[in-house]
């Protein structure tokens, strides 16, 4: 599915309460796991779930908890770093990375969450395509954040320190992991350094001021 098609479908259910969009069984799933909303929305618009790097043929869908102004009330997870740790350590060119591939064309869908999930609503989406000239300054900041994070990762590893949180202006990495059935986390191993560089998995996130800056300046 093309991102353009997704925009048309999501537009039709914007400002509609969840109880009119999702089934009772879906709402129960949301009650148990708030993080499943993105998957349920993708299924609702007819997108087949897959393990590919991007949700759509030409872009990505990201939902997030927002206030009535569509500002973020939480960071937005982008992707885990365990599978891309060596390209980060090697400071691969930003435009050549899986990270850039994932964020270069994103449909951000804010969700106003008030009390019961039945009453939640999707607010007007925000479409950010980094190749557009108006987002040139945003691209520059993201690239600088990426390079800064890569630099700090190498500094930690060279000092024999385990990876810890690193924050830029719009990008950050921090822990995102749950224990397996044996009660263990998922360590990150680097082929370049031939050692475990973290006892837990980490992920890239958009910082909380990212969407606010987009709304206010673009």
- Section 25-38 average pLDDT: 87
- Section 104-125 average pLDDT: 94
Strand order in the sheet with 76-80: 76-80, 202-206, 171-175, 166-167
pLDDT at 153: 96
The CATH class, in words, for 3-217 is: alpha beta
8 A C-beta contact, residue 31 and residue 113? no
**2-23, pLDDT tens digit by residue?**
999 999 999 999 999 999 999 9
Summary mean pLDDT of the chain: 93
What H or E segment, with its residue span, contains residue 9? Answer: helix 3-12
**136-156, pLDDT tens digit by residue?**
999 999 999 999 999 999 999
DSSP E strands in the chain: the ranges are 60-66, 76-80, 105-112, 121-122, 126-129, 166-167, 171-175, 188-190, 195-198, 202-206
User: What pTM value is reported for the model?
Assistant: 0.92
pLDDT at 182: 85
8 A C-beta contact, residue 193 and residue 90? no
pLDDT at 114: 83
Lowest mean pLDDT among 84-88, 128-132, 191-195: 191-195
Compute the distance between CA of residue 15 and CA of residue 20 in angstroms, rounded to an integer: 11
DSSP E strands in 96-178: the ranges are 105-112, 121-122, 126-129, 166-167, 171-175
* Ramachandran bin of 183, using left for φ above 0, alpha for ψ from -120 to 50, beta for the remaining angles: left
**66-85, pLDDT tens digit by residue?**
999 999 999 999 999 999 99
Compute the distance between CA of residue 94 and CA of residue 184 in angstroms, rounded to an integer: 32
CA-based max dimension of the chain = 54
8 A C-beta contact, residue 53 and residue 102? yes
pLDDT at 149: 98
* Residue 130: C-alpha distances to residues 45, 76, 124, 214 (Å): 24, 17, 19, 12
- The domain spans of the chain are 3-217
pLDDT at 124: 96
pLDDT at 181 over 90: no
Structure tokens at 204: 């890239």
DSSP E strands in 67-187: the ranges are 76-80, 105-112, 121-122, 126-129, 166-167, 171-175
């Amino acid at each position: 599915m093309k991102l353009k098609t997704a925009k048309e479908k999501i537009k039709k259910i914007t400002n509609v309460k969840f109880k009119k969009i999702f089934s009772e069984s879906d709402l129960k799933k949301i009650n148990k796991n708030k993080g499943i909303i993105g998957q349920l929305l993708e299924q609702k618009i007819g997108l087949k779930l897959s393990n590919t790097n991007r949700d759509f043929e030409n872009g990505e869908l990201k939902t997030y908890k927002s206030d009535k102004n569509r500002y973020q009330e939480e960071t937005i997870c982008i992707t885990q770093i365990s599978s891309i740790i060596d390209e980060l350590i090697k400071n691969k060119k930003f435009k050549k990375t899986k990270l850039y591939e994932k964020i270069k064309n994103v449909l951000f869908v804010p969700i106003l969450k008030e009390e019961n999930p039945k009453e939640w609503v999707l607010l007007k989406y925000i479409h950010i395509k980094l190749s557009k000239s108006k987002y040139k300054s945003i691209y520059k900041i993201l690239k600088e954040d990426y390079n800064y994070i890569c630099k700090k990762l190498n500094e930690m590893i060279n000092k024999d320190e385990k990876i810890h949180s690193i924050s830029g202006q719009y990008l950050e990495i921090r822990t995102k992991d749950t224990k397996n059935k044996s009660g263990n986390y998922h360590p990150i191993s680097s082929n370049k350094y031939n050692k475990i560089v973290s006892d837990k998995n980490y992920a890239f996130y958009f910082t909380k001021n990212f969407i606010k800056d987009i709304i206010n300046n673009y």
